[in-house]
Amino acid sequence: MKFTTRTFVFSVGLLMTALLSVGTFAAAKPSSQSAGQGSEISLADLLNPDDVMLRKPSAPSVQQVRKEAEEKAAAERARREAAEKAAAEQARKEAAEKAAAAEQARKAAAEKAAAEKARSVAAEKASAEQARKEAEARATAAEQARRDAEARAAAAEKARIAIEEKAAAEKARKEAEEKAAAEQARKEAEARATAAEQARKEAEEKAAAAEQARKKAEAKAAAEEQARREAEEKIAAEKARQEAEARAAADRARREAEEKAAAEKARREAEEKAAAEEKARREAEEKAAAEQERKEAEAKAAAEKARREAEAKTPKLVPPPAKGVSAGKDGQKEKEGKSAQKKQKQKKQSGRDAVITAERTDYDRKEGVILFDRNVYVDDEQYQLHADRLFLFMDGTNDLKRLVALGNVAITNEEKSASCSRAVYVKKLSKIVMYGSDAAPARLYQGGKKASTVVGERITFWLNSEQVEIEKPVVTVPGGSFKGGDGKDFLKNFKQ
Amino acid sequence: MAFAVTAFNSEQWLAERSDDSDMVRLRVAYRDCVSKIEAPAENVSFPLETFPDGSVKSRLTAARAQMFPDTGYIWGEKIRVEQYKNPGTTNVWANLVAENCIVDRKTKSGWVEGDATMVYGDSSVKGRGIYFSLPREFIKILSKCEIRTKGAKMDPRSLLK
Instruction: Convert the pLDDT of each residue in A314-342 to its tens digit.
Output: 443 333 333 333 333 444 444 444 444 44
DSSP class of residue A430 equals T
User: Is pLDDT at A424 greater than 60 in this prediction?
Assistant: yes
Pairing status of strand B138-149 against strand B123-133: antiparallel
Q: Give the pLDDT score at B138.
A: 85
Q: Give the pLDDT score at A388.
A: 92
Q: What band does A225 get if pLDDT is binned at 50, 70 and 90?
A: confident
Q: Residue A401's closest chain B neighbor by CA?
A: B154
Question: pLDDT digits over A244-265, tens only?
Answer: 777 777 777 777 777 777 777 7
Give the whole-angstrom CA distance, residue A424 versus residue A231: 10
Higher pLDDT: A272 or B55? It is B55
Cβ-Cβ contacts under 8 Å, A403 against chain B: 154
| Option in B28, B145, B150 nearest A188 (CB) | B28
Give the whole-angstrom CA distance, residue A382 versus residue A324: 41
Cβ-Cβ contacts under 8 Å, A365 against chain B: 137-139
Question: pLDDT digits over A95-117, tens only?
Answer: 888 888 888 888 888 888 888 88
Q: Does B129 reach chain A within 8 Å, measured CB to CB?
A: no
Give the 3-state secondary structure of residue A439.
coil
ipTM surpasses 0.95: no
Q: Which of A115-124, A188-197, A256-265 comes out lowest in average pLDDT?
A: A256-265
Q: How far is A350 from chain B (nearest CA, A)?
A: 10
Radius of gyration of chain B (CA): 19
Q: Give the pLDDT score at A41.
A: 52
- When scoring B16, B21, B133, B154 by the number of chain A Cβ atoms within 10 A, the one with the most, hence best to mutate, is B154
Q: What is the pTM of this model?
A: 0.45
A residues 180-219 closer than 8 Å to B (CB): 184, 187-188, 191-192, 195, 199
Q: What band does A38 get if pLDDT is binned at 50, 70 and 90?
A: very low
End-to-end CA separation in angstroms for chain B: 38
Q: Residue A413's closest chain B neighbor by CA?
A: B160
Q: Residue B153's closest chain A neighbor by CA?
A: A380
Q: Give the pLDDT score at A477.
A: 77
Q: Does B154 reach chain A within 8 Å, measured CB to CB?
A: yes
- Region A139-157: what's the mean pLDDT? 84
Written as one letter, the residue type at A472 is K
- Region A419-432: what's the mean pLDDT? 88
Q: What band does B63 get if pLDDT is binned at 50, 70 and 90?
A: very high
Is B146's CB within 8 Å of A359's CB?
A: no
Cβ-Cβ contacts under 8 Å, A411 against chain B: 159-160
Q: How far is B24 from chain A (nearest CA, A)?
A: 7
User: Is pLDDT at B72 greater than 70 in this prediction?
Assistant: yes
Question: pLDDT digits over B2-24, tens only?
Answer: 333 456 677 788 887 778 889 99
End-to-end CA separation in angstroms for chain A: 191
Nearest to B14 by CA among A279, A306, A404: A404
